[in-house]
Amino acid sequence: MRILIILIVFCASSHNAIAQESFLRQVYTQAENDYNLGRIEQASTALLDNMKEFHGNLRQSSIRLLVLCWIGLDETEKAEEWTAKLLAEDPYYTASPQDPQRFIALVENTKRGLTAKITTASSHAETLAEVPVPTTLITEDMIRNCGGQNLQEVLAAYVPGMNIVDCNDDINIALRGIYSNGQEKILIMLNGHRMNSYCTNIASPDFSISLAKIKQIEVLRGPASSLYGGVALTGVVNIITQQGADIDGIEAKVGIGNYGQMRGDLVFGKRYFDLDLLVWGSIYKNNGEKKDVSEESFNEDTSNMQQDHFTIGRIGNKPSHDIGIQLKWKDLQFFYDAQFSQIIAPFTISTLAKTYDWDRYKTFNGHSPSYSTESHHVDLSYSRQFEKLYLKGNIAYDNSDLSHYQVISDNSFEELGQLMGLDANDPNNIFIYPGLFRNISGQEQNYSFQLKGDYSYISSAHHNGNLSFGTEFSHFQLEDVRYALGYNFVMIAPENPLIPESGKGHENSYNAFLQLKHRWHSIILNAGLRFDHKKRADGRTLNEFSPRIAFILLQPKWNIKFSYSRSFVDAPYLYRKTNELLPLLSSERAGDDFSVLNPEFVNSLQLTFAGSEWAKGFNFEINGFYNRAQDLIMTHIIEHLNEAENKTIGIELMTSYRKPKFTADFNLTWTNTIKSNLFTMSIDANNNTPAITSNATLSWKPAPKLKLFSNIAFESKTTSYNINIVQLIRFQQLSSMIANLLEQQMTERAAEMIPLAQEAQEHIILKNDMKARAIFNIGAEYQLGKVTLGLNVRNLFNTKYERSGMNTKLIPQKGRWYMFDIAYKF
């Protein structure tokens, strides 16, 4: 009987809730009909009487309709007040082109007045003036204006301190001179969901991230572990997607260009009362730009190149793609995204940087030599507002298939075999054969559970206080591990049976953060602390605290910020496992322990001055920073060690100017490294980081249907310091021989070899200069009704230039690439 009573009460409550929701929808529908029939006062009264009961998307739609009512009644102040409330509900709200022009202008003007709100810096919506660290906001229009074809190009165009580095194997970016072989120092998120691999820490900003679905990009410049933990070492990139209501239909685009470029984008979005649906799909492929070795100046000696040509910018035989769905119903949100990324290295591994015959090498699971990742991301979240308390919980699952398939050399490489303790006469020594390659692959999975909250503990005329908190648990595991070495282009060396099993592993991570934001008159204190605990696969534990504190002085036309933050990123699982497996791969390293890699750290001080609307439409920001990085991981020939440090100062300038028919965005960065080293050798200079970088992006509408845009990127003369792998091997071999001779008291013979070792040591570091360059990009759009025609040209003047990265010789960059596209809005 008790159970029956409970069921009856539950059913009655559910029926009442459904009835209440149905009633509110009827109220909204009737108000919408009244508005359309001109009974505006009746519509506004009904909406106001029930506004407290509306929630979710229905509340947002009701506020929008109420703003339209106030506009119709010429109640300007009330329209502005409720527009601000609309943007408070959804900081990313954008009016539809079908909306009345006065409403569109009001939304845009209110956004500018609020200096646009972001959510990445403090886990809740706030203006750019209030964020505790320098932040760059990239809007949908800005993405189109710069003509960027992928996320890397967009970030490089707008984010001060961020420059492109080329590590041969992967699409990569650096922030303030700190980078690795892959993009593993900057956290990239999609609507707050981590995209970086839990195995490699890498999230390549390439063509596997569709630009068509993006509403805006929020970039935190500086360490951000106090909120986001590991990976957020130098910055955070949070990609905010459109909502279904923003699209309100179907947007389709197809493009074709030189070098076999083909691109397709499709976005569908719709809002049905409390249901908001967004679906997207993007695909891109090309054949790459083939270049002749004889026409390039990147290598002093081209006589020993194994092929007379190489290919730049090729992404593989299988197109990159990004397919996803985002579904919001009231306070519940579901998100799914499937991506495939593949990059073909133009040259062989590391500082050898030789050309190679890509077509001769065998395939693994259908992949020829390349870096490829196929990933799936699922996120289910629920949020709720309880007066002053906001809570959000989410469950996430990530799955990725990783393959790092690299060519070592078309020719034999006996020196590497000697370093690994293999005899040149041993038939099992694969390094005496040509066509050398390696393939590291595995499947990673990650489960995470997260709870976040914001509590407004005071709100008065002089004080506003907010407390943010959160905790998270994640479980990572790597399966199906393979570490294959090959020779003769298609042959696989016998694999130690212990490697696949030893490569597997799992790790558990726990974290919690607390952040206080208190405003007293015009002064804001923003302080946060996060604790991360990880149980590594080898049984070791990691415990790290990440603090941040910032003081902000707000004035109507300007603001000043001063902040300190400390950030860390744990050594990638793949690096640690590779070190651990070395004794199984090399007889020379039996008994050695390279697996103990420590996290990398960055401490940062920043001072920022920003001005808004000093002239109509003009905003600017000047930021000075000091970074001290410690225990940075360097990739040796086959192992990884915490060996590098970096102390850097810099100044960043960012300005924007907005007019109805003209916009301009400009940034300039000066960076000076005052202390750094490469392995144990001091270089104390910028490494692959220009002293001065600058970007100017302009757009102009000379006619209502025509839009012209351009981007000019400048980089000053840049120096690249890298390791000469052949000389390093020779030095290590001579050092070992000298040590053995001294043990045998053969001092005269040892003395004869010391000059040879010193000579090899002097040539270990390669120093190459890359001349200053300015790269011009242009584009145009012409609208014919629902059809938009577009043209985009990268590197207009076909300028020849190079870039480099960690342990990489100079890599020639792409020449003139262009694409025509046609878009249609259904």
Q: How is residue 242 annotated by DSSP?
A: P
pLDDT at 415 over 90: no
Q: Which residues are CB-neighbours of 480 under 8 A, at least 6 positions away?
A: 441, 442, 443
Instruction: Encode pLDDT of 515-527 as tens digits.
Output: 999 999 999 999 9
Contact between 118 and 237 under an 8 Å Cβ cutoff? The reply is: no
Radius of gyration of the chain (CA): 29
Q: In which band, very low, low, confident or very high, does the pLDDT at 4 lie, cut at 50, 70 and 90?
A: very low
Q: In which band, very low, low, confident or very high, does the pLDDT at 460 lie, cut at 50, 70 and 90?
A: confident
pLDDT at 108 over 90: no
Please tell me the predicted confidence (pLDDT) of residue 301.
53
Contact between 175 and 624 under an 8 Å Cβ cutoff? The reply is: no
Contact between 437 and 410 under an 8 Å Cβ cutoff? The reply is: no
Please tell me the predicted confidence (pLDDT) of residue 524.
95
The share of the chain scoring above pLDDT 90, in percent, equals 55
Q: Which residues are CB-neighbours of 68 under 8 A, at least 6 positions away?
A: 35, 100, 103
Instruction: Encode pLDDT of 260-293 as tens digits.
Output: 999 999 999 998 878 999 999 999 999 999 999 8
Give the distance, in angstroms, between the CA of residue 108 and the centroid of all CA atoms in the same chain. 28
Instruction: Encode pLDDT of 810-824 as tens digits.
Output: 899 999 999 999 999
Q: Looking at this protein, which amino acid is placed at residue 289?
A: E
- Token pair 């052949």 in the structure block, residue: 726
Q: Is 0.85 surpassed by the pTM of this model? A: yes
**Mean pLDDT (the chain, rounded):** 88
* Other CB atoms within 10 Å distance of the CB of residue 325: 15
Residues belonging to the chain: 826
Contact between 378 and 392 under an 8 Å Cβ cutoff? The reply is: no
Residue 797's alpha-carbon distances to 314, 484, 617, 707, in angstroms, are 21, 43, 32, 21
* Other CB atoms within 10 Å distance of the CB of residue 121: 22
Among 241-255, 495-509, 526-540, 696-710, the minimum mean pLDDT is found in 495-509
Give mean pLDDT, residues 786-792. 95
* Distance (Å, whole) CA 513 – CA 118: 19
Among 185-194, 406-415, 490-499, 712-721, the minimum mean pLDDT is found in 490-499
pLDDT at 144 over 60: yes
Give mean pLDDT, residues 89-102. 77
Please tell me the predicted confidence (pLDDT) of residue 752.
85
DSSP element (H, E) containing 173? strand 171-175
* Other CB atoms within 10 Å distance of the CB of residue 428: 10
Instruction: Encode pLDDT of 563-606 as tens digits.
Output: 999 999 999 998 888 888 776 665 554 444 555 889 999 999 99
Please tell me the predicted confidence (pLDDT) of residue 264.
97
Among 359-363, 527-531, 765-769, the minimum mean pLDDT is found in 765-769
Among 169-178, 469-478, 677-686, the minimum mean pLDDT is found in 677-686
Give mean pLDDT, residues 68-84. 85
As a dihedral over the C-alpha atoms of residue 235, residue 238, residue 239, residue 244, rounded to 10 degrees, the angle is: -170
Q: In which band, very low, low, confident or very high, does the pLDDT at 407 lie, cut at 50, 70 and 90?
A: very high
> What is the three-state SS of 368-400?
CCEEEEEEEEEEEEEEEEECCEEEEEEEEEEEE
Please tell me the predicted confidence (pLDDT) of residue 19.
61
In sequence order, the β-bridge partners of residue 651 are 624, 670
Q: In which band, very low, low, confident or very high, does the pLDDT at 744 lie, cut at 50, 70 and 90?
A: confident
Could you tell me which of 161, 112, 111 has the C-alpha nearest to residue 136? 161
Contact between 484 and 436 under an 8 Å Cβ cutoff? The reply is: no
Give mean pLDDT, residues 426-435. 85
Please tell me the predicted confidence (pLDDT) of residue 799.
95
pLDDT at 9 over 50: no
Please tell me the predicted confidence (pLDDT) of residue 419.
67
* Distance (Å, whole) CA 535 – CA 81: 50
User: Token pair for residue 36?
Assistant: 């359309």
The share of the chain scoring above pLDDT 70, in percent, equals 93
- SS3 label, residue 229: coil
- SS3 label, residue 566: strand
Residue 725 or residue 216, greater confidence: 216
pLDDT at 324 over 90: yes
Contact between 559 and 133 under an 8 Å Cβ cutoff? The reply is: no
- 566: phi then psi, degrees, rounded to nearest 5: -125, 135
* Distance (Å, whole) CA 578 – CA 595: 8
Please tell me the predicted confidence (pLDDT) of residue 750.
86
Residue 383's alpha-carbon distances to 391, 452, 516, in angstroms, are 6, 9, 21
DSSP element (H, E) containing 419? helix 414-419
Q: In which band, very low, low, confident or very high, does the pLDDT at 52 lie, cut at 50, 70 and 90?
A: confident
In sequence order, the β-bridge partners of residue 736 are none
Helix residue ranges, H only, 586-710: none
pLDDT at 14 over 50: no
pLDDT at 55 over 60: yes
Contact between 813 and 801 under an 8 Å Cβ cutoff? The reply is: yes
* Distance (Å, whole) CA 384 – CA 323: 28
pLDDT at 317 over 60: yes
Q: What angle do CA 536, 542, 547 make, to 5 degrees?
A: 140
pLDDT at 381 over 80: yes
Contact between 489 and 362 under an 8 Å Cβ cutoff? The reply is: yes
Pairing of strands 523-535, 117-118: unpaired
How buried is 386 (Cβ within 10 angstroms: 0-12 exposed, 13-18 middle, 19+ buried)? exposed
Residue 83's alpha-carbon distances to 79, 111, 532, in angstroms, are 6, 9, 40
Helix residue ranges, H only, 744-793: 747-762
DSSP element (H, E) containing 60? helix 56-72
